[in-house]
Every structure is written in C-alpha cells, then in structure tokens.
Amino acid sequence: MCGIVGFVGKSKEAKKIIESMNNKLIHRGPDDFGTYIDEICALGHRRLAIIDLKTGKQPITDGDYTIVFNGEIYNFLELKEELKKKYTFKTKTDTEVILKGYQEWGTDVLKKLRGMFAIAIWNSKKKELFLARDQWGIKPLYYYQNNGTFMFASEIKALIEHPDFKKEFNGDVLSAYLCFNSVPTEESFFKGVFKLKPGHFLLYKNGEYNIERFFKLEFDETKQDEEELTKKIQDVMVDSVEHHKIADVEVGSFLSSGVDSSYVVSLLKPNKTFTASFDPKYSKYDEIKYAKDLSDKLGIENKSYIITKEEYLKEFPKIMYYMDEPLADPSAIALYFVAKEASKYVKVVTSGEGADELFCGYGDYREEVDHAWYNKIPYPIRHLVSMLFSHYKWQELKGINFLYRKGQKLENYFIGDGKVYTDQEANKVVKLKNQIKTKDITRPYYEEYKDSSNTVKRQVIDFYFWLINDYLTAVDRNTMMFSLEARTPFLDKEVFKVASTMDLEAKVNKETTKVALRKAAKDVVPNTNYKKPKLGFPVPLREWVREDELYNEIKDKFNSKIAEKFFNQKYILKLLDKHKSGNVDCFKKIWTVYTFIIWYEQYFGEEV
C-alpha cells in the first residue's frame, strides 16, 4: 500500500515539484520514497513496505517502461510463474509482475489481476502514460490537466502542490453531495479534478487522453441447490482470505459484531482484532462485547477503544482535510479511531466492506419480498396513489413514503441505501445554480441494467455510489492516515463470481438479509454474530446534536460567511432547531451541511 503521483509536461523544476507532490503523501508510505524524471515525465512513490521488504522499492524501470503502483496483487505469484517463461525478474514484488504483464499483455493485464490497485506506467519511447484503477474502487486515483501539464495522484492534496494546478471550487456538485453525503460523480469539488472510475484505464499521449472500461458488474441470478451454494461460498471465502493474508508483516483485522468481519476473522484467525465503540451512555449497542466474545472463543487478542464525544469532534476537521472531499457519513469518522488503534500494533488489517453489496445486506433489499403483496396491485393504480403523495414533504412520513415508492419505478427514487436529501430539498437548501440532479447521475446505470431485477439494480447503485464513494473512501483515507493497509476479502474477483449467480431467495427472505452468506458463515463463526442484523457503525450524533455544546457549534457554522455563501441559512437553522427540540429527527441533514462547511474551511476558507 502506497501513494503515487506524477505528471507529464516540461518543467525546469521537475525534481522539486515531484518531491513536493510526493511528500504530501508521506502518510501513505513513510517507509521509503522514490522518483523517476526524464525530459517530460516525472513519477513519485511513497512506500509502505508490506511485500518484498528489501527489493520492492519503486519506481521500477524496465527498458522503456517505468511503473509506480499502489495496492496489492494477490495472485502475483501465479502470474509470475507464467511470465517467467519469457521474462527475468529482479525483485520479489508484485509491482514488477504488473510491469512485465503490461509488456506482455498490454491493457489486458488488468483482467488478470486479482487485488486492489492504482497503477501508473510511463512508456518513455512512445511518450505515453497508462493509468488504471481496480474494478472495486478500493484504491483512489485522481487526474487533472491544465496549462499543458497532465498530472495524477492518489490524493487531491498532492495535485495542489504542482504550480500548474489552479485551485478552484466546483460548486456544480454541491446539491448532489447533499443527497449522497459524498461526491457521487467523476467530478470533484475541485474544478478540473476527476476520479478515474473503478474498472477503467486511461491512456494519455500528446496532450490528449482516452478512457476505456475493462470491468463491468455482471449478474446471472440462478436458482441453485442451497447446500451446493453454501459450499461454493465457503470454498471461495477460504481461498480469498488465504490470498488476502499474503504479506511479509503481521496481518490483523477490524472486528465489529456483524457477520462480515466476524466471518473474515473466523477464517483468518489473526493474532489481533480491533474494535471501537462509544460511551455506553450514548450507545444502545455494545460492539465491543460481541467482538471480545468472538475473539475469546477463537483464542485471539482483541484491542478495543472507547470513542468520546470530545475527541470525535476535535479530530473532525483534521479528518476532513485528509479525506480530500467532504464525507458526511458519521461512521467514517469513527473508523479513524479504530485505525489509529490498530496502527500501534500492525501494518495490515482486513475489513468486511463489500459483503453488503455483493450478498445483499441492506434492509432495502428485502422490499421485493416484504412488499410482494402490494406489488400485486396493478401498477397504474399504485402509480396514481403515488402521485397523490409525490410532494417531498409527504415522503418524510414512513407510511406515506411507502405508498410513494411502490407506485414509482425504482429509478425515480432510489439513489442508494443512505440517501440524505431529495433533489427538491437540496434545491431549497443550496443557493448555487446549475446543480447536477441525482437522476442524471444514476440514469446511465439504470439504463445499462434495465433488463436486470430490481434487486440487482439496487446492488449496482449501492456499489457505485455508496460502497466506492463512501465506505471504501473512508477505509482508505482513515487507514492510510496512520500508514495502515486495509484489505477487503469480500471484494475479490473469485468471490464475486459466486455472489453474482445468486437468486433472490439466496440474498434475502422475510426474516433476514445475506441469507446464503450467513449460512456459509454459520459453520465457522463460533458465536451468534453470523445471524445478527445489519447495524453499521452506530454513532450517537443524533443525541450529540441535541446537546448544547455541539448544537451551538453547528449554529455558529450555519451563521457563518461560508454558510451564507452556499446555503439558505434560514432553512438549515430551522432544521437544526427542529432537531434540537426533539420533534423531528434530521441530524443527518444537519451533519451533511456542517461537514461541508468544515471541509471547505480546510481548503478554501481563506477565500470566503
């Protein structure tokens, strides 16, 4: 796990610039650094040494090709055996395998890689730059072009160091951010800065670039024998965990009370697990109790950490800086503390991200089962009822919201598991014009999967807009902040091959979600964690916002010049007071606006 940077463009100070960009990523790789510089290209690398501790230094140059790489390739030993028939290797690292693979197979090497990656390869002969991001979006990769220079980096803050970077705020995505609680587009809040989409690669040459896709989520829902499917899941999870534990350093694991991390830990059996929770005064659910119980039964040491309100709020601005863009998921901040604790003991941890999207863990996935009785009513009748309650104010009410949703096509209302604002609400909050609408953002995915079931459509939307932009971003930034590598065994090409074939009954039923996964986990998880309902990472912000300390802090920010510039202050202050009174629960809407203001202060505050 590392940080990578680079640019193509002539500069008399290339060495100074690439080193400055590289140093902004020192937290991603404190063990070593390296640069490559020629007449028009400069590459930088910060290394967190995990595999091949002695000879794995980057960049690696082989003839006309030079590579910098962030991630882990879990099948690199198998690929290396294939490539050794033609190539000689100087290191024991997966980086060199990628480089030789690119020389042998070109961009098709990406289809062979099993792992997480952000890759940059420079061909000095062709003057061509190749960038690629893994199909799961585990590793970040940003790019920017201005004044004859094309640049890329693992984090936006490194791009800002280049003199050709013009730091400008992009307000067009503000409304979309409020709806998704993260930026859901290829665009970012920095004008001209784009995310390379997961499963895509980019080729840059002669001032122009072209982007192509190399991976698509493909599903084939098939009715299968229950026992056979359970065995397939068990076998592929054992195989994935075996591959994900390859390292020359100790591998630990994050552990909550849920089935995902419990299953991984029960298979991995690391020496240490790490859990965080909140003061029992606020938390209605004790994650630590269940995590310790599982660890004790497996004979594993569990390190736990109790997060206080004071430190959560104190560290918040710093975390927003490291996130690069605002991320308003409260659990993303909580993850900071468990990562900090884990980094005291290990350099690598496993985590359970991806299981909910691949195996259907969110409560919304049950709608096709729970509401089957209502779906039998002819659609024209359901749609008529829906239109009667189509105003967004009605949709705040649970029963009415049901009547609205069930009389609409999924694409008309579903933008993912954690929607915060509707477009109509965001339009009332945001002052800026020309805002991107959520339907315009999700439409291409609904069109591409128009022949798929509603369950698959939900999986696709949750995968591309919540897993990648929220959960995986939070894991990457919070772990890298402490030079800690996080691995996600559920997000594996072989695991997906099995998960993508499950039918609805294997995904959800009237009693639970992740039906088949829970059956597979039951045989190895030694306590009841395998059957616990989806909880997430419960953060007591609902209560904190009602307490004077945080209420007054948020109120001050809502009355600030930043809030005045971007938001309808009367509206957001009214939301805050409604929540304080206890009449309405709208802390997520409040926190999403507050998060943006805190983030904006870190990067643009002096410009208000």
Would you say 86 and 70 are in contact if contact means Cβ atoms under 8 Å apart?
Answer: no
Would you say 430 and 439 are in contact if contact means Cβ atoms under 8 Å apart?
Answer: no
**Is 9 in a helix, a strand, or coil?**
coil
471: CB partners within 8 A, 6+ apart: 329, 332, 353
| d(C-alpha 54, C-alpha 563), whole Å | 51
Residue with tokens 């690292």: 93
| d(C-alpha 32, C-alpha 2), whole Å | 10
Residue with tokens 């616990």: 532
Would you say 360 and 507 are in contact if contact means Cβ atoms under 8 Å apart?
Answer: yes
Annotate 397-418 with DSSP letters as a single string: SHHHHHHHHTTS-GGGT---TT
**Is 119 in a helix, a strand, or coil?**
strand
Would you say 192 and 140 are in contact if contact means Cβ atoms under 8 Å apart?
Answer: no
Q: Considering only CA atoms, which of 140, 162, 132 is closest in space to residue 22?
A: 162
Burial class (CB in 10 A: 0-12, 13-18, 19+), 227: exposed
What count of other Cβ atoms lies within 10 Å of the Cβ of residue 55? 12
Strands in 134-190 per DSSP E: 142-146, 149-153
| d(C-alpha 608, C-alpha 601), whole Å | 9
| d(C-alpha 342, C-alpha 107), whole Å | 36
318: CB partners within 8 A, 6+ apart: none
Strands 272-278 and 251-254: parallel
Among residues 2, 41, 179, 360, the one annotated as catalytic is 2
For the chain, the first-to-last Cα distance in angstroms comes to 37
What count of other Cβ atoms lies within 10 Å of the Cβ of residue 261? 25
496: CB partners within 8 A, 6+ apart: 217, 358
| d(C-alpha 163, C-alpha 181), whole Å | 31
Q: Considering only CA atoms, which of 260, 253, 207 is closest in space to residue 233?
A: 260
Q: Considering only CA atoms, which of 297, 229, 235, 286 is closest in space to residue 262?
A: 297
| d(C-alpha 360, C-alpha 516), whole Å | 10
**Is 341 in a helix, a strand, or coil?**
helix
Q: Considering only CA atoms, which of 592, 473, 537 is closest in space to residue 338?
A: 537
- The amino acid occupying position 240 is S
Q: Is 2 a catalytic residue?
A: yes
Q: Buried (b) or exposed (e) across 11-50, using 16+ Cβ within 10 A?
A: beebeebbbbbbebbebbbeeebbbbbeeebbbbbbbbbb
Burial class (CB in 10 A: 0-12, 13-18, 19+), 398: exposed
Active site residues: 2
